[in-house]
Structure 1
């Protein structure tokens, strides 16, 4: 039969043995899968069974897994292993590091600032003597070599206009200046030079201002004037100090309330000292109106004697009151000084007013102008020129206001002495206020009465006191009725 199939007997036996081995391996795999399924483990390639995992507890009520191990112990064991591994790694890193490597093991490298980002400590930087002179000399030399190297074509054009500095080695040897550091023209010299350059020497060289040929420099005489250029004042970089605290302004009711509180505090302190025996208690203030209420039965025993004693006490109190007022009263000289201090307080300011009068021939007008200036303690002068009269007054605000009311409202400038014929130029006479304002200091020491002068001498007279422009102000005013 074997010959009919065409297979040898030995080959058939080997095939049967292989088939048996395969069946045996399949059986082992099936048994293993069956055991895993009984333990509740997930099989590879299959979906997990639906539903929550069953809770397993031991005899003491602690949660265990399928193998009977405590779940908490495994977690603690895992944490302990992690901590142990971390400590071992840190110790190993410390042994491998050098110096402060152990501290850097606990630092986050991302939190470390870059070296260029650190703020430098503010220190004083001292400049050596001659440092800036050397820098300026170097720049002048570069500028000179740039101009000379640009004549050939490389250094010229737009590159040099944009600030291109040429190479000093590219300049021909024959064209090097003897003193290149002195060729650049300073900006303060370029203003007065004729060509904007110093005097050109032989060979196209330009000696500087410190050379021997500097005395032949050509300048523009019209550019040299007597005027001095002053720099623009700049405020210091520091901020201005804050203004001092201003006193709180109180209303009339608030001031009255404060006075009442202070008076009550003094009275309370006085009563406490009387209670402690430090002060003698005051005697009762007996008057005729409260005689019976204060003395009681003593007032009925001898009314005449009691009334006489009460009147004597009343007279003593009145006399003490008058004495205190007399002690506080100022003398006439003190009152005058106080009034002057109030009127001419520097905080209130000093004022000036200038009046132009067409004609000042009426003697009554002269008298009122002079007397009121003295009464209001004003300083100034009255000038009469060829065409008009000028009145200048200086003083406090109150005095200037009074004087203005006098000359602008109260006085009748077109009036004349009663019973006499008025001159022709008195018709349309007027007084006009030319200027008023504050001044820093007084120009006159007293009030100078009318001084008759010509227009030119009147201008010079005021110029001696530093107010000559006031006469020009009157001349520029049109001669007509305001």
Structure 2
């Protein structure tokens, strides 16, 4: 018979694990008495409880009576039982509660550390009814949230397309990197990868044998400073008026002596005398006395010939229009070779067409390269070139142009075709726009490493995104943010 409630520890109670011992008559009698007690208790409880209000089967009523079925000495015969009158009256109920605490503790395999098993009574849960419309409200909330997310995505897509989101945060956030554990110039002088042991003399490689500090001095190779390449050529020393006259006399004296030597040697013919009205009588003498009218006419003719020759010589020496342009281009290229300078201006409005013409025409004449961005809110002008050209263009933008002046367009048909409203000099009523608050501001002036543009162009940009995209090719997007932050 299995032992209920015994702990899981200990040897197994199956038949294969325990050793079979021969049963004695006492053991058989004890088993028989226990079996009788169980049958009597089962019969009594069934009759007492009634089950389905049905009595015990007649074939089972004589189970409690003794019916000898074999010999008295036969130990394998099955005895029959008949419940006594006392057992029937008591009608003890069948105990299904399991072993008690005393029985568990009397078990030789009982472990007090495990404790007695506890059975928690089952508690029935109460029914909770949901209120009417609870899940409908939750579904409506989920639908509203989904519609809000879809609206946010739609607005974000439209702002990205129009470039409005870039206008919200103009300033860029730059993440400052954390300082290193040790600087690169101290890596060879400090033991370890940080400055934690800097106070320890043994952790500093200054006086040690493996130090990089020695008594020798390294003299680098002397090179020409790069900025000296852009220096202009030295100009000659200026002379005073007396010094210039003295040099001129000496040069003319040397040329005259050389001419006289050639005449003496017969290399060149002697020049005719230079007759003027002042030396007329002295040079011609008697001829002037005989016919003074003819001599005077002759002298006037020679004077006119000399003047004509002088004018013709000057005209021959004078440069043509093409040669002047070539010379100017060479000088401008030399100016750019000395260093590239850049200017950036902000103009509130370019509605006046004359202003736009002067900006582009002067840039072309001074061989400047850059970009003009025309925007409804502000206009950005960037030019680059030589120092001399940049200086002249700066005077044009800040001094020569009157930005508050407005003039009607010369060609009204050309202005009405494809011109933005904010670039027209006149409003919808046909009146000139008021440019009293229009002004030009200098945002940047300085020398740059190399040229960022290949020509001077103008571009109309409706949004900030288009303006930044136009400047991104030259990597000058910061000028647009600078112009927006300038008032």
Q: If the length of structure 1 is used for normalisation, what is the TM-score?
A: 0.43
Where is the helix percentage greater, Structure 1 or Structure 2?
A: 1
Q: If the length of structure 2 is used for normalisation, what is the TM-score?
A: 0.43
Higher RCO structure, 1 or 2 (CA under 8 Å, sep 6+): 2
